Amino acid sequence: MVIVMAPGATEEQIEHVVERVESVGGEAFVSKGVERTIIGLVGDIDSFHHLNLRALGGVADVHRISDPYKLVSRQHHPERSTVWVGPAGHRVPIGPETFTFIAGPCAVETPGQTLEAAQMAQAAGATVLRGGAFKPRTSPYAFQGLGLEGLKILAETREATGMPVVTEVVDARDVPIVCEYADMLQIGTRNMANFGLLQAAGEAGTPVLLKRGMTATIEEWLMAAEYIAQRGNLDVVLCERGIRTFEPATRNTLDISAVPIVQATSHLPIIVDPSHAAGRKDLVVPLARAGIAAGADGVIVDVHPDPESALCDGPQALVGSDLRDLAAAVRRIPPLVGRVDAAERLQVT
C-alpha cells in the first residue's frame, strides 16, 4: 500500500500515520517529495485495512498495490486450473488445454423442447448442456421458469444424451435441491454480488459457473470467486457475458479483453457467453469466434429448436446455418491457439 499525504500535511500527521502502521506490526517508508510526501507500507495488508487510513488527518489518498484476492490468484497458484464437470464416466474438462462448447435452451420449457435443443447442441459439438429452471427476470410478470419440474427435465435429458448439466440457482435456499439434479451451478450476472448465495455455493462443493456482474469490474468479479473459494470450493469457472456501457446497439458490450486479463491474474478457467452479451442472433457467431481467438477456455450459447416460440430470449437463440457456422469455428479456431476440443478429452470410462 502507498499513502499519499496532502500537500500541506504536517510532520505530526506523517508521524501519526507511521505510528498507526507500526502499531499493527507493519513498516512504513517515508519519501518526502518537493510537493508531497508518500509513505510506502510493508506488512500484512489485512491488518492495514482496519486502520482506516483514508480517514487519518493529512492523508490525501491511499493506493492499494497488491491484488485483494488470494485463493483465486495466479500469484498463489501459478499454474492455470482445469475444472471437471459431470458424473464419473462423463466428466468434461474446462481449462487451459481444451476448448469446451456448452449449449442449450435459455429456459427449460418442455421435455421435448429440451431434448431437441440438447440434440442440436450435441450434433454441433457441445459437450455440456445448459438450460434454465429458475429464471431471474427483470419483470415480476415475466416467465420465471419451471423450477423443480425444470430440474427433473434437465436430469432426464442428461440421461438421454450423456451431457452434464449446468443450470442457474438464484436463491441460497435452492442450492441443495439444484445440486441434487445438476452437475454445475450457474450464478447469474444479477447475483454476482449476492454474497449469501456465493457462500452457499462455496459450501455445496459442486462446480460453479460464475457470470460477471454486468457492471462489475474484473477485480470485483474475482472477489466474488474468492467468496466461493473461501468456503472451500475452488471449482469455479468464470464467464464473461458483457458489461453495461453507453452503446445502445448491443444489450451489453462483450468485454473481450477480460479473457487475457483474467488468465494473467487468476488460475481459474474463463469462458465467453456471446448470446447474452449481444442479445441479437446475428452477432452470436462473430462474437463466439472472437472469444475463441482471444483464448477463452470455452463458449456458452443459447440454442432453441423453435426460437419464435421460446419463452425466454428467443431473439438470440441459434438454429440452422448459424449453429453450423459456430460448430465450424469451434472445430477450426482452437487448434490455432494451442487447444484441443474438450470432446476429445472427455473422460468416458
Is residue 117 within the footprint of its own copies (CB under 8 A)?
no
Question: Measured between alpha carbons, how far is 14 from 3 in angstroms, rounded to an integer?
Answer: 10
Exposure string of 248-287, with b = 16+ CB inside 10 Å and e = fewer, is eeebbbbbbebbeebbebbbbbbbbbbbbbbeebebbbeb
Is residue 96 within the footprint of its own copies (CB under 8 A)?
no
Question: Measured between alpha carbons, how far is 334 from 88 in angstroms, rounded to an integer?
Answer: 26
Is residue 290 within the footprint of its own copies (CB under 8 A)?
yes
Is residue 172 within the footprint of its own copies (CB under 8 A)?
yes
Q: Is 208 or 258 the residue whose CB approaches its own copies more closely? A: 258
- Among the candidate windows 91-99, 102-110, 121-129, 164-172, which touches its own copies by CB under 8 A? 164-172
Report the nearest approach of its own copies to the CB of residue 249 (Å).
5
Is residue 176 within the footprint of its own copies (CB under 8 A)?
no
Report the nearest approach of its own copies to the CB of residue 7 (Å).
6
Q: Is 13 or 119 the residue whose CB approaches its own copies more closely? A: 13
Question: Measured between alpha carbons, how far is 169 from 185 in angstroms, rounded to an integer?
Answer: 6
Q: Is 48 or 90 the residue whose CB approaches its own copies more closely? A: 48
Q: Is 27 or 347 the residue whose CB approaches its own copies more closely? A: 27
Is residue 338 within the footprint of its own copies (CB under 8 A)?
no
With vertex at residue 180, the alpha carbon angle to CA 192 and CA 209, rounded to the nearest 5 degrees, is 25
Report the nearest approach of its own copies to the CB of residue 122 (Å).
23
- Among the candidate windows 86-94, 125-133, 153-161, 208-216, which touches its own copies by CB under 8 A? 208-216
Sign of the CA dihedral running 4, 8, 13, 15: positive
12 vs 9, 15, 38, 56, CA distance in Å?
8, 5, 14, 11
The interaxial angle of helices 218-230 and 258-265, nearest 10 deg, is 40
Q: Which residues pair with 31 in a beta bridge?
A: 38
Q: Which residues pair with 41 in a beta bridge?
A: 28
Question: Measured between alpha carbons, how far is 36 from 5 in angstroms, rounded to an integer?
Answer: 6
Is residue 63 within the footprint of its own copies (CB under 8 A)?
yes
Residue of 156, 250, 324, 343 interacting with its own copies (CB under 8 A): 250
Residue among 324, 347, 277 nearest 98 (CA)? 347
- Among the candidate windows 99-107, 122-130, 157-165, 223-231, which touches its own copies by CB under 8 A? 223-231
Pairing of strands 236-240, 208-211: parallel
Is residue 232 within the footprint of its own copies (CB under 8 A)?
no
- Among the candidate windows 28-36, 86-94, 116-124, 147-155, which touches its own copies by CB under 8 A? 28-36
Report the nearest approach of its own copies to the CB of residue 94 (Å).
18
Is residue 2 within the footprint of its own copies (CB under 8 A)?
yes
Is residue 153 within the footprint of its own copies (CB under 8 A)?
no
Is residue 14 within the footprint of its own copies (CB under 8 A)?
no
Residue of 133, 175, 208, 256 interacting with its own copies (CB under 8 A): 256
